Structure 1
Amino acid sequence: MEMSLVELGWRQFTFFEKRSVMDPTNPKEKFKGLENLVACCSQSGDGFTLFGEPGGAIFKLSRKMQEYCWIAHKRSLTSIALASNVLATVGEDEEGINSLVKLWQLDRIEKEAPFCVRVIRACPLLGVTRCPRACAVAMHSSLQHFAIGFSDSSLLYHSGNVLKEKPTKWLTVVDGVMSGTGDEITGLALAWLASRSACVLYVMTSTTVQSFVICNKAVVATVMHDAKGCIRDCWSFSEETNRLVVGSAEMVHFYEAEQSLMSDVDGGRGKCHALGRSNEKVHLIAFNNYVALLTRQPSAIPSSEEVWTFVLSIYDVEGQCVAFSCALPSVSQIFLLDSTIMVLSADGTLAHLVEKHIKSKLDVLFKKNLYDLAVGVAKRNPLGSEYLPEIYTKYGDYLFQSGDVENAVKQYIETIGSLEPSYVIKKFLDGSRIKELCAYLETLHKKGKANAQHTTILLNCYTKLGARDKIDTFIKQKLSCDVDVAVQVLRGANFTTEACRLCEENGLHDALLSIYIDDRAEYAVALAYIENMEANLVEKYLEKYGKLLLEKLPEQTMNFLIKMITSNEKIDATHLMKMFVGDALHCSRFVELALQADGHNSQLRDIVLELRLRQWSHRSEDSPSANAKIVALIGDKDLDQALQICQMFDFAPGIVDVYTKQERFDELIEYHMRQNNLKEIFELCELKGSPKLWIDAIIFASCEENIDANALQYLLERVEETNCIHPLVVLEILSRSNKLCVANVRDYILRWLRHQNEQIASDEKSIAASEAKMTQIEEQIESINYRVQIFQMNKCSACDTSLQLPAVHFLCKHSYHAHCLESYSEKADSCPACTRIRVKSGARDHGTDVFSSRSARKQFRDEMDATVDCMSLIADYMGNGLFDSWSGARPSNSGNPFEKSSVNVLEKSNAIGTNPFEWSSNVSSSTHSSSKTGITPVAASSAKSTNPFDEEDEELASTNPFGSGF
């Protein structure tokens, strides 16, 4: 077998396997359903293939090997065209030249055949004078374009849906008599270019290939292509790609529909390959990325009965390789079924070519180191994308080992995102391969797959090459990378200008200022850069670099600080204080201005306080005015911090001021004691007058070894004057001292004894006066109990009118009309005048109120109604014992503060029954007296007398606080 030129230049593989098709009803037997089929044309559909027989029958074969046929034309059939489920056939139903075009709706079966939608008589379309035979038909899948070809090369075109409307207006594209070549049309194809609103009509004859561009139902361009014609089955057209493949005698041509619109550029020439050259082409099918070509040549075996030998070759045109090739002794036809090449042999057996899995293809190519072909195979295969990284890696390794480093890195670049970059980088770390390494790392950064180490390596490569232009490009492109690392690398290589530019592009203030100050010592530039920042950033970087800038540029830095403090952009001056360490002059100036701008800043005041105290600690003389200014800096907040500062410098005025403001007098007196400030101790005790402070002062005096005698005398005099501590307590404390003697306190003791004697004498006089008064009171009581009382009041004490019976007389010498008493007093046994006097004197309170009348009960209810906290009011009354007398369990509180005291002589006498004024005798005496006089006296217990114990006796009389004497 003689091989074509292409086959000699293209590598040949076996990417397909030829397998026999078995009978679905009997899997052990080969399928022979097409054994007697003689087809003149075929069309592949969705899951089926249609064959046209010369006798007019249509044979249909499904993917399940099911057969179906019907008679489309009674006499002959020439050509068929398929668009979706519509089939167009060209043939004759009767003798003579009477060509018919029939349209069949395949999905509509009637009378065991598809429904014939329309019948078009072809001859009348050209005119009555001519009657050539129709030999070709074409139909676009949209059913909007229809073409009929004739044996004299005439060509008709119709635009419109031929199913919905009868085609009446036809465009004569080629008139066979006037301008045609006279050759029979062997093929028609329609391409629709939606972007151009143009239809391209391809016409094939045995000698020529032409295309006509039709717009608005008119031919606008005619293109004569370079192919030298083809036979009926040696062309293939795909609507998906709008590509026409034509197999002429010598070449296979490829035409794109868009080329017909640009014929003036390429002259109608398309791509071509010498496929099957020098062999007779029998059939051509284009599918997927392949071209299947069936050729025949004289048999090379003389004894063979077959005259011809058929060769089926499948070409991968883009990969420029032969994917499959085999010799077949006898072939009837090849056709396409579901994108699979089917081979029908003369004996009726059917075979199909199965494409191998991509993995198997790649294994074959890898063994032959054909990585370029492997890349193409993977790209054209739907499953090939996952194999591309492996292919590129192997391809790169192969080229690298071959010494082709430049092309190897191109392959490694394709693996970015799947292959670990370190695998590639370590191969190019040699100094002679820096350029290739740069190319790989640049692409790595562009794709956003670089990390800090990759950035470092790339910039190191740039610096070693001295490629400032590359560095500038790297900065301008703003690639995704670790900018901090890039800046460090550039700084390390002394590319500070580029590093500064990179920092500015990415807003790296820290790194930029560090370069200005640490690397380039451009302090003025750094300060100017800080001045243009926002207030919060200014504060941050002055805190970091301010001290150094103040040393290098004192005036400029101070002017900037003053500007910031006095402007509206407030900064926290306390954060900038460390920049003034060791620079008291500038610190003082700055702090004063800052304090003027923000006088309420307690932290700033503390800083100023510390600064002033540092200055104060270095003074040789103590100035009261200077101390006062320092104390004035101590505010009312954060006193603990101010106290610590004052204690750090032992600034006594400040310590005293803080303790005083915090009212921590115990700690203040302890401080004075530690300082041995007797005068301040005494002044503090006199100021507060607290017994505890005086006791602390006395204890301090007793423990002091060298206390001044005058100071001790002064202390004792002040204690004696305030009379806040009992002298015995004072003497008890002083007696513990090992240094003091009786002589130190002799005058104090004598004064106290003298005062005690005077007090005793005064008490004796008071006792004598009290005894005399008691004697007088006893006489009055005796008179009331045992003597007749004469009531001489002739006027009512209430209305000041003459008394009239009934009248009420009280032992207090007040008399009332009965109705006046009822009006002025709710208590019938109490004198209204005396009761009001007691009320006005404030005798009644929660602890001493007399709950012996209805008014007291009413007042309690009123207070309960008015209060918002009833429980607190009741608890208050109960706490004072005011309800105890209600229950009768014990006598009520008399209000006498000494009632419960053991030194109450009167109470003791009552308890033992020696009191001559005991209530039982009073009651009996009063009753007896009233019976003798014949008037209605009030009980003695209810009378208001001058006896200071009357109230106590009254309360002892009854346990009912609301009881009445009547």
Structure 2
Amino acid sequence: MAVTPWQFKFFDVAEVKLPDGESSFLSEAGNITSVISGSESIFFGSADGLVRIVSQAFKVVRSFKAHDVGAITHMKQIQGTALLVTIAEDLSNEPVLKVWALDKLEKKTGIPRCQSTLTIQNGRKQFPISAFAAMEDLSQLAVGFANGAVTVVRGDLIHDRGARQRTVFESEEPITGIEFREGNITTLYIATTGRIVTLVISGRGQGQPAKSLDESGCGVGCMAVDNTARDVVVGRTDAIYYYGLHGRGPPYAYEGEKQLISIFKDYVVIVSPPKSNAIPRANPLRSFGIGATDDAFNTSTFTLLNTELRFVAHQEQIPSQVKAIVSEWGDLFVLTMDGKIFKYREKAFAQKLDILYQRNLYILAINLAQKAGLDSSQQNVILRKFGDYLYQKQDYDTAMQQYLKAIDNTEPSQVIRKFLDTQRIHNLIEYLEELHDHHKATSDHTTLLLNCYAKLKDVEKLEEFIKSPGDLKFDLDTAISMCRQGGYYDQAAYLARKHDEHELVVDILIEDSRRYAEALAYIWRLEPEVAYFNLMKYATVLLEQCPKDTTQIFIDYYTGTFRPKKDAIVIPNSPVSSGMGMGMGLGVASNAVQNLAALLPLPYMNVNTVASPPSAGEQQTTLSQAQIVETSVDEPAPEYKIPKPRTAFSAFVDHAQEFIVFLEACIQSSNLREDDKVDLYTTLFEMYLHTASSKKDGERIEWENKAKKLVEGQNIPIDTSNVLLLSHLSNFRDGTILVREQQGLHFDIFRSYTAANDTAGAIRALRKYGPEEPALYPAALAYFTSSSDILAEAGEELNTVLKKIDNDGLMAPLQVIQTLSTNGVATMGMIKHYLSTTIERERQEIATNRRTIETFRSDTETKRAELQSLATKPVVFQATRCQACPAPLDLPVVHFMCKHSFHQRCLSTAEDVDQESVECPLCSGQNQTVRAIRRAQVESAERHDLFKDAIKRSKDGFAVVSEWFGRGVMGVGTVE
């Protein structure tokens, strides 16, 4: 994989200004033999065994003599600690390794404490160290020599508890690089000039021979470890190679000699020698000081390469050979042979993006942002800029892809405005659909999208949009409204049904689609409260279009028997599983239900399965033959509040027959409340009369009989005034008569017949009500003799009336004569028998009265004579025994004028009682009665109001006067 030719200036370069007097050690030729960094410091090792610690200000904060003999060629600072490892070499002696605790100073010398010292053994004659690596806990160290040997040191070097050394690898080629891969299994990467191998030095697989990864090696300093990927990076003339435990990864072609390789952040740092002095291979002896003088004044090529994104982040020519590369404080530092230090600071990410924008490298910018871990909003800014760039190049499809990726942080109007051109309507649809998928669409976006579908007449896309699964991605009301405006009524109904907007479903079916039967079928499958609302809203139009079914749903709801219908999909001619609750009660649904099911899912629809699944060849046919059937499971009606029947009356205007059916069903309902009966009976009575008025002959009589039957029962909850009014308005005489009869208004019934000159009806009323209402006979007499025609119609009924009047004394003879003579219709021959009978009876009554008068007169004279005798003549008492006790009378004796005698002792009277006031015990009761009667007469004689009331209530006023005269009302006497 070749690195692209992209080269950028992503780093700012500045030469570090070293403090005067403290940087002279850097310019001394050959003085600096090793440089490392760590723990916020840079460490310089010199040929004289001195270690200098430099701060961020590049001031030497500490220096100490680490080794008395030899040059410090390798160092290692343990990150996060104050430990420093130094190795000094002298070709006449074995290398010496020391571990320093920089935070612990010796009291005498003031230099850091040396924790341990170790002589590194090669096992052969002395060769220089070409590579060095240490684990972070210093439990193991690896030292590579120019003779091809690798020595591993194990032990506790920090606490100087001893260490063991063992040569673990030997090769004919010099060792050019060593790196550890830590983990459960500790692996050592070893590079020579001829190959690259791995060796397990701890854990599973320890002791096995080294595993070759590549038969090509590298030069000294051309191997580094990528701590992020835990792979090693090897630089060769042709490319950059990555190696893992299992072998070599994909190479990144980058031609040129490599003098030094390092890792800084996401970059591979490459130092290349001048091309004029290039040699076929990197000289492995360069780090040992050979040839350094020749190249001291030659330039080096310094490159920062991003191998993953395949671009050069920085490249420049350095006017001197590079001595070392270290990184600290987030910057990269390069030390040259002439003692100069250059600092490379990576530009801010925004600056890097600006560089990429200037060169229209948006894809690289996006990849760089993703690699840097920018949040989605920042990445979307890049995507949006990329889209704008592509749009300007008229690459609309690709531009739209970028806008879609950046949709979360892009103002939709900015993109929509670009694609409003009709030629780009497909791109616009794509963007609007994505807005809805991300739940960022407004009602305007939904409107625009549906308009685009309508403009393209893309019903399939419209269906896919509204039937998309998952949560609602658009404004429901807007979508439904736009579908209705565009004529996509089925889609609008589907949306409304899917989201339980039942009112909208019914409104669409009725107002838009004019599918009244389907609307009614849908209402019948809703919950009671929802069904009632929609039924009342569209009752008039449904009764007009579907009168029978609409009336039935009204009856069910208002009688408390409404059950939402349930449906199932079945295959004809296939046995249905009885376990589904269908059984024998299935009936094929109407066409309306079939059409509705095809349009949108019905409430309470269950998918029923056939007894045996169809074969693959039969499946299409079977599905096409599927039908919707209504279940007839006998389930109790759901509980709901039954509304008052009068709330449905207005719906049945102009639908008299359906209204009558509804009213009759409500009256028969067991759930009918008492307070609703008046409305129902009165309205039904009115509807019967209204229907009768529009019929003729037999049909009219039939409807009138229904009305009469409705109000002639007992305890009918209907107001009589309403019946009278309705009967009068409809000219229904039977109703008027029935009400008057129920109220006992018999005279009014008779008068209604006479007013209509209905003699036969008047005779029927007289015969029916006459025994209870005697006053009808005088009225009948006057009616029969009102005209000759009526008299002829009455016939012998006149004599019957006269006889009744005469027998019951309903009229005085004089009144009868006056009545008959009023109109001059009756003749003497008609009343001859009546007159003769009446006169004879009157004569007999006069004679009887005369005899009674004589008897009373004789009795009165007798009483007067008796009173006179008692008052003027002596009375002889002949009684011998006491009337109170049977004993014979003995003195003292008391005699009364009534001829009763008593012992004085038997009267039980007190001595002080006046003898005149003593009364006969036997006659006292009768006397008191007479006195009470007389007292009442005297008192009533003073009550003129009672006298007047009696005259008003009496039919014979003269008899009342006579009676009160007898009571003494004309002259008041005493009670004595």
Name the TM tier (shorter chain). 0.5 to 0.7
Supply the AA of the counterpart residue of 2:131: A
Name the amino acid aligned to 1:291.
V
Cα 1:227/1:72, change in 2 over 3 Å: farther
Secondary structure of 2:434's aligned partner: helix
Report what 2:315 is aligned to. Answer: 325
Amino acid at match of 2:57: K
Residue 453 of structure 1: CA displacement? 2.4
User: Superposed, which structure 2 residues align to 1:900-939 within 5 Å?
Assistant: none
Quote the residue 2:701 is aligned against. Answer: none
**Distance change >3 Å, CA 30–CA 454, structure 1 → 2:** farther
Q: Distance in 1 between matches of 2:503 and 2:306?
A: 60
CA contact (8 A) 1:340 1:352 kept: yes
Partner letter of residue 201 of structure 1?
L
Match of 2:533 in 1: 540
Deviation at 1:421, TM superposition (A): 1.0
2:238 to 250, 257, 268: 250
Does the C-alpha gap of structure 1 residues 190 and 429 become closer, same or farther in structure 2, counting only changes over 3 Å? same
Q: Structure 1: which 5+ residue stretches go unaligned?
A: 636-641, 653-812, 814-966
- Check the 8 A contact 1:227/1:246 in 2, yes or no: no
1:121 positional shift? 4.9
Maintained 8 Å contact 2:331/2:345 = yes
Cα distance in 2, alignment partners of residues 165 and 485 from structure 1 = 81
Partner residue of 2:203? 216
- The corresponding residue for 2:188 is 201
Contact 1:55-1:77 at 8 Å conserved across structures: yes
Q: CA deviation at 1:485?
A: 2.7
Residues of 1 paired with 2:295 and 2:230: CA distance?
Answer: 43
Q: Does 1:89 align with 2:85?
A: yes
Q: Distance in 1 between matches of 2:321 and 2:726?
A: 117
Give the structure 1 partner of residue 433 of structure 2.
Answer: 442
TM superposition shift of 1:308: 1.2
Conserved in 1, the CA contact under 8 Å of 2:177 and 2:222? no
Which residue pairs with 1:188 in the alignment?
178
Which residue matches 2:810?
A: none
1:12 to 1:239, Cα distance in 2 relative to 1, 3 A: closer
Q: 1:338 Cα shift?
A: 1.7
Cα deviations by residue, 1:612-664 (Å, 9 ceiling, x for unpaired): 475388488999996798996589xxxxxx99x99998999xxxxxxxxxxxx
Q: Provide the residue aligned with 1:136 in structure 2.
A: 131
The residue that corresponds to 1:413 in the other structure is 404
SS in 1 for 2:258: strand
Q: Return the alpha-carbon distance in structure 2 between the equivalents of residues 213 and 540 of structure 1.
A: 82
CA distance in 1: counterparts of 2:363 and 2:129, whole angstroms: 48
1:45 Cα deviation after fit: 1.9
* Structure-2 change in CA distance of 1:540 and 1:198 (3 Å): farther
1:364-403 CA-to-partner distances (Å, cap 9, x unmatched) read 4333333333334444457786654443333222211212
Determine if contact 1:609/1:630 at 8 Å carries over to the other structure.
no
Map of 1:587-626 to 2, 5 A cutoff? Answer: 587-591=659-663, 593-594=665-666, 596-600=669-673, 604=676, 608=680, 611-612=683-684, 614-615=686-687, 618=690
What residue number does 1:282 align with? 259
1-side partners of 2:25 and 2:540: how far apart? 100
The 1:525–1:384 alpha-carbon spacing in structure 2 relative to 1, beyond 3 Å, is closer
Match of 2:500 among 507, 512, 525: 507
Say if 1:605 and 1:100 are closer, same or farther in 2 by CA, change over 3 A. Answer: farther
Shift of 1:409: 0.9
Report whether the alignment pairs 1:475 with 2:467.
Answer: yes
Match of residue 219 from structure 2: 231
- Whether the 8 Å contact between 1:223 and 1:268 is mirrored in structure 2 is no
The SS at the match of 2:424 is: helix
The alignment's C-alpha RMSD in Å is 4.6
Contact between 1:396 and 1:412, CA under 8 Å: does it hold in 2? yes
- Are the aligned partners of 1:31 and 1:350 in contact in 2 as well (CA < 8 Å)? no
1:22 to 9, 17, 20: 17
CA distance in 1, matches of 2:660, 2:487: 40
The 8 Å contact of residues 151 and 182 in structure 1, kept in 2 or not, is answered as no
1:750-780 per-residue CA deviation (whole Å, 9 max, x = no partner) reads: xxxxxxxxxxxxxxxxxxxxxxxxxxxxxxx
- 1:41-73 deviation line (CA, Å, top 9, x unaligned): 443324223344455444332223232333444
Whether 2:43 is the aligned partner of 1:50: answer yes
Q: Distance in 2 between matches of 1:211 and 1:585?
A: 101
**Maintained 8 Å contact 2:82/2:101:** yes
Instruction: Tell me the SS of whatever aligns to 1:413.
Output: helix
**SS of aligned partner of 1:572:** coil
1:102 to 1:441, Cα distance in 2 relative to 1, 3 A: farther
Aligned to 1:706: none
Q: Is the 8 A contact 2:320 2:336 kept in 1?
A: yes
TM-aligned CA deviation for residue 309 of structure 1: 1.3
Aligned residue for 1:292? 269
Deviation at 1:215, TM superposition (A): 7.3
Which residue in 1 is equivalent to 2:773? none
CA distance in 2, matches of 1:617, 1:53: 128
- Report the Cα distance in structure 2 between the residues aligned to 1:414 and 1:323, rounded to whole angstroms: 27
CA distance change for structure 1 residues 164 and 399 in 2, over 3 Å: closer, same or farther? same
What is aligned with 2:362? 371
Q: Using the TM superposition, name which of 133-142 and 337-346 deviates more.
A: 133-142
For residue 175 of structure 1, give the secondary structure of its aligned residue in structure 2.
Answer: strand
1:853-868 aligned within 5 A: none
Count how many residue pairs are aligned between Structure 1 and Structure 2. Answer: 612
Residues 103 and 30 (structure 1), Cα distance of their counterparts in 2 relative to 1, 3 Å cut: closer
Quote the offset at 1:408 in angstroms: 0.9
Query: Which of 151, 156, 175 is matched with 2:169 structurally?
Result: 175
Equivalent pairs: percent with the same residue?
Answer: 26
How many Å separate the matches in 1 of 2:33 and 2:725?
116
What is the alpha-carbon distance in structure 2 between the residues aligned to residue 62 and residue 134 of structure 1?
A: 28
Aligned partner (choices 58, 69, 75) of residue 63 of structure 2 = 69
Once residues 165 and 518 of structure 2 are traced to their aligned partners in structure 1, the CA distance between those partners, rounded to angstroms, is 84
Kindly state the Cα deviation for residue 269 of structure 1 after the two structures are TM-superposed. Answer: 3.0
The structure 1 residue matched to 2:655, chosen from 566, 578, 583, is 583
**What residue identity is the alignment partner of 1:375?**
I
Contact preservation (8 Å) 1:91, 1:134: no
Conserved in 1, the CA contact under 8 Å of 2:42 and 2:54? yes
Alignment correspondent of 2:305 = 315
2:533 partner letter: K
Matches of residues 518-537 of structure 1 in structure 2 within 5 Å?
A: 518-537=511-530
Local SS of the residue matching 1:64: coil
Amino acid at match of 2:194: T
SS in 2 for 1:573: coil
Contact 1:88–1:101 under 8 Å retained in 2 = no
Rounded Cα–Cα distance in structure 1 between residues aligned with 2:221 and 2:157: 26
2:330 to 321, 334, 339: 339
Specify whether residues 106 and 189 from structure 1 end up closer, same or farther in structure 2 by C-alpha distance, changes over 3 A only. Answer: farther
Q: Identify the range of structure 1 (39-48 vs 496-505) with the bigger mean alpha-carbon deviation.
A: 496-505
Cα 1:39–1:307, aligned 2, differ >3 Å: closer, same or farther?
closer
Superposition deviation, residue 251 in structure 1:
1.8
Mapping for residues 940-959 of structure 1, pairs under 5 Å:
none
Structure 1 residue 97: deviation in Å? 5.5
- 1:353 is aligned to 344
- State the Cα distance separating 1:448 from its structure 2 match: 1.9
Task: Supply the distance in 2 between the matched residues of 1:93 and 1:283 (Cα, whole angstroms).
Answer: 22
Which residue is equivalent to 1:98? 94
Deviations 1:924-953 (A, max 9, x none): xxxxxxxxxxxxxxxxxxxxxxxxxxxxxx
Does the residue aligned with 1:480 lie in a helix, a strand or coil? coil
**Cα shift at 1:95:** 6.8
Q: Give the Cα separation in 2 of the matches to 1:217 and 1:134.
A: 29
2: CA distance between counterparts of 1:146 and 1:489? Answer: 76
